[in-house]
Structure formats: C-alpha cells, structure tokens
Amino acid sequence: ETGVTQSPTHLIKTRGQQVTLRCSSQSGHNTVSWYQQALGQGPQFIFQYYREEENGRGNFPPRFSGLQFPNYSSELNVNALELDDSALYLCASSRDTGISYNEQFFGPGTRLTVL
C-alpha cells in the first residue's frame, strides 16, 4: 500500500509568481486536506477536497485554490506569491466511511521558499 506522496520536495519561487503543488493520496482514500506550516508554527488548515469538491476552507485568501481529480489526487495552486507564503505545505488523505472520524495520513510535504 503506497502512502501519501507529494511533489516537488522543494521549490523556490519569486514574489508575484504562481506555483502548483501536487499530492497523491493513499490508496483507497477519497478525501484530501491541505495544510500550511510556517517555520516554527503548527500546521494551518487551508482547505479540504472530497469527491472533487471543496469541502471546507480555512482562513486563506482566494489566491489559494485547489483541485481534486477523479483518481483523488490533488493540486494546490497559489497565485501572486508573497514572502509570507514561504512554508512547508502538507497534504493529508483520508477515507470517508460515513463514521464521524476518519484518520488523516500525512505526506512528507513540499517546502516552498519565496524570494
């Protein structure tokens, strides 16, 4: 069973550019959540996708957007990059089974540096 994978591992961009981060969910999982972890901070929830639809969003501006594909993989897109967007971006997948709690499994993250 393959775990959650993310690409790329590291990325360097300049202010104003756009970036796309990718996540492959664990086999059998249909829900993907994205988190931003700034240096020295805990992860902050960006949004969640379930069956290709956004299913909850944290306090992030619209320039943070996402997609989920039929195979349940996902992309995080960030437009008009700002210096404060520099962070580790974590993807987590889970399987919605209809019960109230479904464990999230995290990928290794993508470290984004904005210069």
Partner 1 sequence: AQSVTQLGSHVSVSEGALVLLRCNYSSSVPPYLFWYVQYPNQGLQLLLKYTSAATLVKGINGFEAEFKKSETSFHLTKPSAHMSDAAEYFCAVSLQNEKLTFGTGTRLTIIP
Q: Which of 23, 90, 112, 114 binds partner 1 (CB under 8 A)?
A: 90
Return the range that interacts with partner 1 (CB under 8 A); candidates 16-24, 44-52, 61-69, 71-79.
44-52
x/- letters, 50..69, toward partner 1 (CB under 8 A): -----xx-x-----------
Are 94 and 104 in contact, with CB atoms under 8 Å apart?
Answer: yes
Q: How far is the CB of 87 from partner 1 (least distance, A)?
A: 13
Choose among 106, 80, 88, 84: nearest CA to 5. 106
Q: How far is the CB of 108 from partner 1 (least distance, A)?
A: 4
DSSP string across 2-52: ---EEE-SEEEE-TT--EEEEEEPPTT--EEEEEEE-TTS--EEEEEEETT
Are 109 and 37 in contact, with CB atoms under 8 Å apart?
Answer: yes
The site for partner 1 (CB under 8 A) is made up of 4, 31, 33, 35, 40-45, 48, 55-56, 58, 90, 92, 94, 100-109
